[in-house]
Amino acid sequence: MLTAIFSQFGMGIVNGILDKALEAFKAHEQKQITKEQLATQLYGLMLEAVKAIEVAHAEALAKMYTAFIGAVQTSALMQRVWAVATLSQLFVLIWHQFFIPLIVLLVREYGDPNWRYPSSGTTVEWAYLLLAGLLGLGVMGLRAGPGAGSVTDKLKSMVGK
């Protein structure tokens, strides 16, 4: 994804920032600005680049999501596959959340008190991930959660520490 963004917008971003950075370095060499002013200008240029990349990334995500939703709206097969996958994974999660504890409770109550339900391995984790993916995690995951916020805000917070 980032490769596509850089290939589409990369040279424009690099050329714009490189020219401004060279101007700032020339001004510093000619004693027109101090080292602190140079650092401030370079920091501003870095934030500009990150912002441009964030905007390009958001636009690419929006286009991708729009294309996918358009394909789902026009394809009966995609609608059926999406529905089957979503409902099957929802069933897996409901089974693991409600029915397995009920079976364990009943068997322990009326049978062997030390009985354990066999492990399902990572089935539940995969069901959560697949269900989240089917409901839009791919697009939303890049804009929410631990990675929430723009890279610009994160860089500003790192420099401020």
Q: Flag whether the pTM goes above 0.75.
A: no
User: DSSP assignment, residue 34?
Assistant: -
* Long-range contacts of the stretch 115-121 (C-beta < 8 A, 24+): 120/96
In this structure, are 27 and 49 located in the same domain?
Answer: yes
Instruction: Please say which residue of 57, 74, 91 terminates a domain.
Output: 74
C-alpha torsion sign, points 84, 120, 130, 143: positive
Number of domains in the chain: 2
pLDDT at residue 146 in the model: 44
Which stretch of 81-90, 94-103, 116-125, 137-146 has the lowest confidence by average pLDDT? 137-146
The whole-number pLDDT of residue 147 equals 47
**Of 41, 74, 107, which residue sits at a domain end?**
74
Q: Average per-residue pLDDT in the chain?
A: 78
30 and 70 fall within a common domain: yes
Provide the pLDDT for residue 110. 92
Domain endpoint, select from 43, 74, 105: 74
Q: Taken in order 35, 16, 5, 67, is the CA torsion positive or negative? A: positive
Go through 37-72 and write b for each residue having 16 or more CB atoms within 10 A of its CB, e for each that does not. ebeebbeebebebbebbeebbeebbeeeeeeeeeee
> Do 82 and 157 fall into the same domain?
yes
**Res 36: pLDDT:** 86
pLDDT tens digits for 34-63? 888 888 888 888 888 778 777 777 777 778
Same domain, 70 and 84: no
Q: What is the DSSP secondary-structure string of 67-127?
A: HHHHHHHH-HHHHHHHHHHHHHHHHHHHIIIIIHHHHHHHHHHHS-TT--PPP-TTHHHHH
Q: Which domain holds residue 11?
A: 1-74
Contact 131, 86 (CB under 8 A): yes
Pair 33, 105 in one domain: no
Per-residue model confidence as pLDDT tens digits over 111-147: 998 888 888 778 888 888 888 888 777 665 555 444 4
Same domain, 70 and 101: no
